[in-house]
Amino acid sequence: MYMIGNDWDTALTVLENSENFKKFLALVKQEYDTKTIYPLRENVFNAFKLTPFNEVKVVIVGQDPYHGEGEAHGLSFSVQDPTPLPPSLKNIYKELYEDLGIEPAKSGDLTKWAKEGVLLLNSTLTVIKDTPNSHSKLGWQPFTDYVIKLLNSKDTSIVFILWGNFARSKKAFITNPKHLVIESAHPSPFSARYGFFGSKPFSKTNDFLIKNGLKPIDWDIKK
């Protein structure tokens, strides 16, 4: 279940070989064997499969997967087609338009961003059907915190985008001055007007990448 199939396997060797992690994965397997869990088992590590360790330029931290059928597929904020756009993603697209003039996509599938080098990382990678935050205490967070610390230790510059208080709590792990942290309110309709709208995270990200000799992200998923 945990073999990703790219350089993340090497990066995560120490963790993957630890007894605690093996026990945790057995617990996750038991959840899948006995309950309806999202995303589908084969999509749990989708963010890592689509964005190899050495290709990560940007990290967008989410909380936990969407809990409705056919929605989550292992990428934070992203939904599978033909799922209607969730409210937070609508607001992300709205800010993208205001920031870079990119017309909102009809699709909520952010796979193209992942392939551009944007690690769409939820802190918790699984959820019980129709039960938000049901796996928040299962044990995913030590794993995803480790991932953030691992990325923080890289020499190449990375942009960490932290939306909302939960994501911002991960700022403590980002100590390397080579990286940029962009933080604001969450794009949820409840909070977007308190600092998410107008924050221009997409242009700020690309400006930083260009300044550091890296190719900017093409944020237009319609191409």
The set of catalytic residues is 64
Do residues 121 and 140 make contact, with C-beta atoms less than 8 angstroms apart? no
Q: Long-range CB contacts (< 8 A, 24+ apart) of 84-89?
A: 84/108, 87/188, 87/189, 88/186, 88/187, 88/188, 88/189, 88/192, 89/187
My answer on whether omega of the bond before 86 falls inside 30° of 0, hence cis, is: no
Question: Which tokens sit at 112?
Answer: 């193209």
User: What CA–CA distance (Å, rounded) separates 23 from 129?
Assistant: 23
Tell how strand 58-62 and strand 37-38 pair up: unpaired
Q: DSSP letter at 216?
A: P
Question: Which tokens sit at 73?
Answer: 């597929």
